[in-house]
Amino acid sequence: MDIADKKRSGRPREVDRAAVVNAAEAHPSMTTRMLAEDFDCHHAEIARILHAAGKKWLKSRWFPKELTEAQKRKRVEIATKLLCRHRRSPFFDFIVTCDEKWIPFVNDERHDLGWEILDHPPYSPDMAPSDFYLFRSLEHWLRGKKFRTIEEMRQSLTEFFDSKNREWYRHGIHRLEEQWQKVIENHGEYFDY
């Protein structure tokens, strides 16, 4: 058994830490492997840089490692407001949810449609059904799959969405009440979902 180090070409090149942090903030869904490819380094180095900068990988995104007291208060305030409103007049059967992972559609006439935008605090994937329910399930579906063509990817995504019945989607939306309650009980801190 050989335990000697292999020859190396010299000191590893320095990675621009500020550029890595800026890239993660500009594109919070980029993984360490994606960033490592962009910065031509090992993904563990990217993880060290982001953790040192106070970032935490949470449910497929980089977030501040610790929420500020103001962010925690805002999370509790919004969760309380939405929970009280829902208990007073249930609205889950009339809710549309999305986030930046969806294709944005600008419609300045949404008020003509009778739509209302509900508050949602930043850094709160635990309060977005697309994050805590839909994308989490999709991530499991895609794990280990490799696509050679766009058509293969489309077919797999179609299979995923077709495999879920109406009740499955309804259940994800109805979990919001439980998620809001957890935010309140945890005083705005993150929790595993």
pLDDT the model gives residue 7 = 60
Is the model's pLDDT at 76 over the cut of 90? Answer: yes
Is the model's pLDDT at 168 over the cut of 60? Answer: yes
- Strand partners of residue 56: 63
Span of 20-34, 72-86, 137-151, 176-190 with lowest mean pLDDT: 20-34
Q: Does the predicted model carry a pTM greater than 0.95?
A: no
Span of 35-44, 105-114, 140-149 with lowest mean pLDDT: 105-114
Q: pLDDT, tens digit, for every residue of 80-101?
A: 999 999 899 888 877 766 554 4
Cβ-Cβ contacts under 8 Å for 27 (sequence gap 6 or more): none
- Strand partners of residue 64: 55
Spatial contact of 172 and 128, defined as CB atoms under 8 Å apart: no
Q: Are strands 62-64 and 55-57 parallel, antiparallel or unpaired?
A: antiparallel
The residue among 169 and 11 whose pLDDT is bigger is: 169
Q: Mean pLDDT in the chain?
A: 79
Spatial contact of 124 and 83, defined as CB atoms under 8 Å apart: no
User: For residue 185, how far is the Cα from the chain centroid?
Assistant: 21
pLDDT the model gives residue 103 = 41
